[in-house]
Amino acid sequence: MDKFVVVIAECEPGGVTPASLECVEEAREVADQLGARVQVILCGSAVAALAEILAAHGADQVTAVEHEALAQFSADGWLQALAPMLLHAHPLLLLAPDSGQIRAWLPRLAVRWRLPLVGCCMRISIVGDGYPEIIRNTYGGACQERLIWPYATLVGAMLTPGVRGVGPPQVERHAEVTVIHPELDPAHFRDRTVRTLPADPKTVSLNEAERIVSGGFGAGGPAGMGLVKQLAEQLGAALGGTRVAADRGWLAVDRFIGSTGQIVAPKLYMAFGVSGAGQHLSGITASELVIAVNSDRTAPILKRADLGVVGDLHQILPILIRKLQALAAPAVTLETTP
Ligand SMILES: Cc1cc2nc3c(=O)[nH]c(=O)nc-3n(C[C@H](O)[C@H](O)[C@H](O)COP(=O)(O)OP(=O)(O)OC[C@H]3O[C@@H](n4cnc5c(N)ncnc54)[C@H](O)[C@@H]3O)c2cc1C
């Protein structure tokens, strides 16, 4: 009988969330160590078409659980739809993104099944005779824990988004696809999504932000950090920074980035006055485009940056902010009288 590592994937408009693809890739590595297959379960109204992308990142089987009542997220709906699937799948290991939605329903299932469920997971591997080993952040990232289950028991792991990043797709891979239409009773969903609001960059979780502007000790104080913040606002980006900036009180402590802070994977990461210490760089490895401004041309961040600018942030930031303000300003039409 086939053995499975099961992933619960989440959708977003137009595709699968990057955090879900990270889980599929992590599951692929774990499954290869166990000689198992990767089964991905996803929920929605018409989600079977996403099987291709899941296969390209490592899925062997995709189970699409479809119902029109699942078009919008509901913790009760997901639980009703997925609990029987998961029971049937009999996984060796269960992986899911550590997201707000997963946290809304999976712990309820874990309590019901007495399933050990671990959040803030950074890495999963197999040790000994096939026991899962999970490395996870704890105490807000101040230290890491290594957990091993030396018993044949199912473990659920919620993977921190952005830790491993998404690798290139293997387009030649294919998966078996099963579509299931469960019988659901939406009248018994006690929660439902009424509307989805665009995320506020100021409050969006850093590991889900697409753009981040960061300030370090080189900002020189709250005034310099204020300029970094102004640029972030102008770009619709989230504000981040280094641990030193947070320790100085220039930045909220939950917004510093690095091995003991937030792990991020934005499309754009801009760093001002950040030296690029190893502990900081390990938090931005999955960033797509890194732009750094530093007055010291030997600063390590400039080696990591795709675009490095050697200069004084106090001169560069006001110019950048003014340019962006001019671009954002509505065009003025001049009327001339003959
Ligand atoms: C156990 C441990 C865990 C840690 N975890 C983390 C972590 O998770 N995240 C983290 O960030 N740090 C962490 N640190 C701290 C880390 O080692 C560095 O000290 C820190 O990242 C440096 O912060 P910084 O780049 O802001 O400051 P600095 O290293 O002081 O760098 C400031 C930079 O600004 C530049 N600069 C100065 N003035 C200007 C200017 N006017 N214009 C442009 N550039 C300028 C300088 O050239 C310099 O490169 C940890 C340390 C330890 C010991």
- Over residues 40-86, the pLDDT tens digits come to 999 999 899 999 999 999 999 999 999 999 999 999 999 999 999 88
Binding-site annotation: residue ranges for FAD: 242-243, 273-280, 294
Amino acid identity, position 180: I
Cβ–Cβ under 8 Å, residues 38 and 176: no
Q: Binning pLDDT at 50, 70 and 90, where does residue 140 land?
A: low
Residue-wise pLDDT for 92-121, tens only, equals 999 999 999 999 999 999 999 999 999 999
Q: Name the residue of 225, 227, 248, 280 to mutate for ligand 1: max ligand atoms within 8 A of Cβ.
A: 280
State the average pLDDT over residues 152-175.
Answer: 90
Structure tokens at 14: 């137009």
Q: Tell me, what's the pLDDT at 337?
A: 63
State the average pLDDT over residues 268-286.
Answer: 95
Nearest atom within ligand 1 for CA of residue 312: 42
Residue whose C-alpha is closest to residue 235's, from 331, 330, 316, 327:
327
Cβ–Cβ under 8 Å, residues 105 and 75: yes
Structure tokens at 105: 């329903």
Which neighbouring-strand residues pair with 133? 125, 148
Of the chain, the percentage scoring pLDDT greater than 70 comes to: 96
Q: Tell me, what's the pLDDT at 159?
A: 95
Nearest atom within ligand 1 for CA of residue 220: 38
Is 245's C-beta closer than 6 angstroms to any atom of ligand 1? yes
Q: Tell me, what's the pLDDT at 148?
A: 92
Measured in angstroms, how far is the CA atom of residue 217 from the centroid of ligand 1?
Answer: 6
Given the DSSP bridges, would you call strands 61-66 and 11-12 parallel, antiparallel or unpaired? unpaired
Using the predicted structure, report yes or no on whether residue 225 has a pLDDT greater than 80.
yes
State the average pLDDT over residues 154-176.
Answer: 91
Helix ranges (H only) for 207-312 are 222-235, 243-247, 278-281, 301-304
Residue whose pair of structure tokens reads 């387009």 in the numeric block:
171
Is 31's C-beta closer than 6 angstroms to any atom of ligand 1? no
Structure tokens at 27: 């599951």
Distance, CA of 116 to chain centre = 22
Q: Tell me, what's the pLDDT at 79?
A: 95
Using the predicted structure, report yes or no on whether residue 141 has a pLDDT greater than 90.
no
Q: Name the residue of 144, 212, 270, 275 to mutate for ligand 1: max ligand atoms within 8 A of Cβ.
A: 275
User: Which domains does the chain show, CATH number per domain?
Assistant: 4-188 (3.40.50.620), 206-328 (3.40.50.1220)
Q: Tell me, what's the pLDDT at 331?
A: 64
Helix ranges (H only) for the chain are 18-34, 51-56, 75-89, 100-113, 222-235, 243-247, 278-281, 301-304, 313-328
Given the DSSP bridges, would you call strands 155-159 and 117-127 parallel, antiparallel or unpaired? parallel
Q: Tell me, what's the pLDDT at 226?
A: 97
Is 271's C-beta closer than 6 angstroms to any atom of ligand 1? no
| Lowest-pLDDT choice from 179-188, 233-242, 328-337 | 328-337
| Lowest-pLDDT choice from 7-11, 272-276, 284-288, 307-311 | 284-288
